[in-house]
């Protein structure tokens, strides 16, 4: 089955700096890659996703890149703010609709004011 590795497990940045989180996946047939933000005591919330026919996608301060050859994808957050502090999860799915997601282990991002 699919295996998703996520790094780093914790990341501390100064407010205004950029943050990058990286994930690798094992199954080359995976074709949908969402990123979730999870705040304490809440369920994960989708923040951005990318499908295998696209190499990069951007939404305001958040961007995701995908390298299918290398089987890795990354989340980039620019101009970080304290409210960006949370746990971020990458995921991969063989199903283009993401009906069965395999999640990475998570990255705890701390943005210091």
Partner 1 sequence: GAGVSQTPSNKVTEKGKYVELRCDPISGHTALYWYRQSLGQGPEFLIYFQGTGAADDSGLPNDRFFAVRPEGSVSTLKIQRTERGDSAVYLCASSVNGAASTEAFFGQGTRLTVV
Residues found near partner 1 in the complex (CB under 8 A) = 4, 6, 32, 41-46, 51, 89, 91, 96-106
Q: What is the token pair recorded at 64? A: 């995701």
How many Cβ atoms are within 10 Å of 74's Cβ, its own excluded?
17
Q: Give the shortest CB-104-to-partner 1 separation in angstroms.
A: 5
Contacts 24+ apart (CB under 8 A), 95-99: 95/32, 96/31, 96/32, 96/51, 97/32, 98/32, 98/34, 98/49
For partner 1, the closer of residues 10 and 18 by Cβ is 10
State which residue, 43 or 113, has the beta carbon closest to partner 1. Answer: 43
Of 78 and 110, which CB lies nearer to partner 1 in the complex structure? 110
Shortest separation between residue 10's beta carbon and partner 1, angstroms: 11
């Amino acid at each position: 089955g699919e295996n998703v590795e996520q790094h780093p497990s914790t990341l501390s940045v100064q407010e205004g700096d950029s943050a990058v989180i990286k994930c690798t996946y094992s199954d080359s047939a995976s074709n949908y890659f969402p990123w979730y933000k999870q705040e304490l005591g809440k369920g994960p919330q989708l923040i951005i996703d990318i499908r295998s026919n696209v190499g990069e996608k951007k939404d305001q301060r958040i961007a995701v890149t995908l390298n299918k050859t290398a089987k890795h994808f990354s989340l980039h957050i620019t101009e970080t703010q304290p409210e960006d502090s949370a746990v971020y999860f990458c995921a991969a799915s063989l199903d283009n609709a993401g009906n069965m997601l395999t999640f990475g282990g998570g990255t705890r991002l701390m943005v210091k004011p």
